[in-house]
Amino acid sequence: MSDQIDKSAPVLVTGASGYIAQQVILLLLQKGYKVRGTVRSLDKAPALKALLAAQDPRANEIEMFAADLMSDAGWDEAVAGCTYVHHIASPIPPELPKDPNDLIVPARDGALRALRASKAAGVKRVILTSSVAAIAYGYDDQPEILSEADWSNPDNLKDNTAYTRSKTIAEKAAWEYLSGPGQGMEMATVNPSAVLGPVLSGDFSASVGILTQLMGGKLPATPSVGFQIVDVRDVAATHVAAMETPGAAGHRFIAASDYYWFADIAKLLREEFPAQRKKIPTRKLPSFLLRFLSIFNPVMKQVVPELDKKRVVTNTKAQEMLGVTFRPGREAILAGAKSLIDHNVV
């Protein structure tokens, strides 16, 4: 597969300082690709390169470009000469904004900016990071097992948040662009579930908040909430395989592994990390109480649409078409927790 790719052409990774993007960059370097990255400000570039170079010295050679989701500046320079682009940059807030458009507009417009610049530069294929949020929300009658053929309904506000709506709207806008002005350029999307696994520093994705909340003594009890877990390294592997596999163009790929309730994660963490045991909750939080507390707590408010719901997706397509093997959820949870301890986050 990959020997058909000219590795002398740079591969662009947008949002290079992000949790998933860091692992995509490291995997690309490991496979011998020349890598470029975008960051919102070049002030961040030296620290990011040093962080990545601690894992792989080749990261010192990464070219960095300043590009923002909400501005046209910098995008043309970043994509010039690239055959492949991984568009990973997207807003993920620690808490939901008062105005949903604060999330929806940058997610959608940023994706379109990256695609338009890529098309103008003659990029062959863009791999877009979407989410299971664009697959598993807004149903009146939710299928028992969801696949890439399913789409969330962002207009059904019953269980959507600004974040889940932003992922659906951005991905749909991207596919619409590909079937219109973007015709002739290829695209594939990667749709991860809750992303855990090792962190490289104290700066990481909001999804890792599952672990910091549980291990940092921030939760008195576990809510009746669960997610399918996926290791960040496997999300990166899905991204790179979707770039290298000729037949992947035009497809969505779910990246997900085992389902865990918060209580199951807490139990596993108590067993494996006895030094943290005192901070990890043992009781379950009644759903009615969480609904009440969410009136005053913006972080809890994000959790309400997940209460007592189980959304299950299948990763069969990524396994069969791309050859990705997903680590067990347990491994992603423990690797994430260990790295958070190592970086003195918890």
Point out the residues that are catalytic.
167
Paired tokens of 298 = 């913006």
Instruction: Single out the residue of 266, 192, 190 nearest to residue 226, CA to CA.
Output: 266
Instruction: Single out the residue of 148, 239, 228 nearest to residue 193, CA to CA.
Output: 228
Paired tokens of 102 = 């604060």
Cβ(256)–Cβ(234) below 8 Å:
no
Paired tokens of 154 = 């962002």
- Determine the length of the chain: 346
Angle subtended at Cα 259 by Cα 255 and Cα 261, rounded to the nearest 5 degrees: 135
Do β-strands 35-39 and 63-66 pair in parallel, antiparallel, or remain unpaired? parallel
Contacts of 146 (CB under 8 A, 6+ apart): 132, 135, 136, 311, 312, 313, 314
Instruction: Single out the residue of 47, 24, 51 nearest to residue 36, CA to CA.
Output: 24
